[in-house]
Amino acid sequence: MNENKLPNATAVLILGIVSILGCCCYGLPGLVAGIIALVLAKKDGELYKKNPTMYSNYGQLNAGKIMAIIGIALSVLYAVYVIVMISTIGWDAMKDPQLMQEKIRELMGQ
């Protein structure tokens, strides 16, 4: 039987990788890439479930989906961390390392 490739499996894999790498940019790029990867993975997953013998790269799709989930989780955690840091020490301290050290000393009671 002639096996085809799922149309978005490579895109899902690349977006999954980008979502893990993008979590370090305040979480937003990783979150966006991860959500797009999951939407594409759902569409291809439905295609695969209709006729599993017709497609050959389901493993690639599954790996991308797993990476997208990990990327979304890391992005959310990092975004929460940034929000907490901004609310406790302020945006100005986030930009200035010396001011950040002073604010952290104040919070530690030193």
Q: What is the pTM of this model?
A: 0.87
Strand partners, 4: 55
Could you tell me which of 93, 92, 94, 88 has the C-alpha nearest to residue 108? 88
What token pair was written down for 30?
């990783």
Task: Determine the straight-line distance between the first and last CA of the chain, rounded to whole angstroms.
Answer: 72
Could you tell me which of 40, 16, 43, 10 has the C-alpha nearest to residue 30? 16
What token pair was written down for 21?
């790498």
What token pair was written down for 1?
């039987």
What's the pLDDT tens digit per position in 37-87?
Answer: 999 999 999 999 999 999 989 999 999 999 999 999 999 999 999 999 899
